[in-house]
Structure 1
């Protein structure tokens, strides 16, 4: 996971430098920003924040580790080669699927609809609509003054809030109502700002609409019925 992310990023920046492109917009991740156990809950997480690489390694979070190293290398190579680099850091991206298959981000929602999980985790997650992420890339490319990193996020929700929204829109599905961790207090969202990208003029799609459109897309592509058929097959065999 680490090697392709790092080497692939370096190759793209080097090629951009050789081709003398006007600007490179790099899709990074919120995973390069928020993974820091030493950060105070009162600190607002913004574009100046970086994930702690040692913490990522010790927790074996290779996704965040790889993304962080890749983005840091991108900035390093861009500075050395004189490339005008701007970075977009999206949170969990949901909404209508462009591709025919289900990706990891959408499975995050799908699992609550199929009955494959009976509880929800005591954790928080930030969400953003896929079309807003696409628009963010256009804005930072076409705005001459755009520079640095841009966190792309609409809102942060506890998993309990996610299942409540899903249950209201789609009561026909076996959406879990219990938390897997009922002993500890409900996790509180950390303070994440999206002001920098909003200053460029983006108006984010509300997270409720994001969740609704995700499920409607799963229905249209028949992923829910296929998942149910697969589960029934496993149970009966």
Structure 2
């Protein structure tokens, strides 16, 4: 499969899903690269006006209500017709404590509708946004009783999956939803022989001006249980969007890709947590008694996709 540099081969693409932050940056990136883009109507008039002010939007950005209703399979087929690619973005699940469990079935069914519709509409490639949380939650990696020596060498890569039973036992509904959804999507895509590429981003921060302790603290504030046990990695949304467009265009791209800019060290994270919650004890998994994890995005880097690693500053 190839989506090359221009012309008729990449005339129309569609952006679906309910993750407004990523969707808006995908629209920017796709318009910059000359695509004609179909997308769900933004929730606010101000956001719609801002996006329509982007260069090329008046000529090449088309709003469609059909892309928003993932339960309407027939409408998805209609809106996907003529598209060489579909970008499906669902809300992130890094905040493991606030995902409504009743949404799991809807997320799975909606994504399966997208996969089926892409197949029937002869879409060349589906770019699905999943999450790193579909990889990291496993009893063996997240147990404080496992000796550090036995866990330290375990590298989290694209072969890893979160354990469904473990997620259920810990009521980790967000990671459970992402894992179930991605596994179901892969099963159907293979059955339909659909070319699908999946990006598994780490924690997604807002647009990159600078990466500050304040931005990470704002993300963590109010979270009852911190994301990935013993692991805090992030990527900025504009870099994620650029990585997704690149992975869509590169013919050799296949399978899953972990996407992150930087892993925050345990010492840095402990310091941030102590400043954010001075009267709360630091979770043991972020102390020296916790199990250190190793994360790699080597597979993504082999596609030539790189990020400029930003330092965390005090502001």
Normalising by structure 2, report the TM-score: 0.54
| 1:5 to 1:183, Cα distance in 2 relative to 1, 3 A | closer
Equivalent residue for 2:245?
138
What are the within-5 Å matches in structure 2 for residues 21-60 of structure 1? 21-39=123-141, 40-60=151-171
Q: What does 1:142-153 correspond to in 2, within 5 Å?
A: 142-153=249-260
Deviation per CA, 1:126-169: give whole Å up to 9, x if none. Answer: 111112211111111100010000000122225651475799xx
- Per-residue deviation, 1:189: 3.8
Distance 2:280 2:259 in 1: 28
Match of 2:217 in 1: 109
The answer to whether residue 314 in structure 2 is matched with residue 203 in structure 1 is no
Runs of at least 5 residues in structure 2 that lack an aligned partner in the other structure = 1-102, 142-150, 209-213
Tell me whether 148-157 or 7-16 shows the greater mean CA deviation: 148-157
Is contact 2:230-2:293 (8 Å) kept?
A: no
**Which residue of the other structure, out of 128, 147, 150, is the alignment partner of 2:235?**
128
1:180 equivalent to 2:281? Answer yes
Which residue is equivalent to 2:81?
none
> In the comparison of the two structures, how many residue pairs are matched?
194
Q: Is the 1:160–1:179 Cα contact (8 Å) retained in structure 2?
A: no
Distance of 1:193 and 1:111 partners within structure 2: 23
Q: What's the CA shift for 1:206?
A: 1.9
Partners of 2:176 and 2:302 in 1: CA distance: 29
Taking CA–CA contacts closer than 8 Å with sequence separation of 6 or more, which of the two structures ends up with the larger relative contact order? 1
Q: Do the aligned residues in 2 keep the contact of 1:123 with 1:159 (CA within 8 Å)?
A: yes
1:70 positional shift: 0.4
* Local SS of the residue matching 1:48: coil
Distance 1:87 1:3, change over 3 A: same
Indicate the SS of the match to 2:182.
helix
Distance in structure 2 (CA, Å) of the matches to 1:201 and 1:41: 28
**CA deviation digits over 1:58-101, x for unaligned, max 9?**
1110111111010001001101111101000001011329xxxx
Asked whether the equivalents of residues 127 and 207 of structure 1 are also in contact (C-alpha less than 8 Å), the reply is no
For structure 1, list consecutive stretches of 5 or more residues without a partner in the other structure: 98-105, 168-173, 216-237
Residue of 41, 66, 83 corresponding to 2:177: 66
3-state SS of 2:235 partner: strand
TM (norm. structure 1) is 0.70
User: What is the alpha-carbon distance in structure 2 between the residues aligned to residue 182 and residue 138 of structure 1?
Assistant: 37
CA contact (8 A) 1:128 1:205 kept: no
Q: CA RMSD in A?
A: 3.3
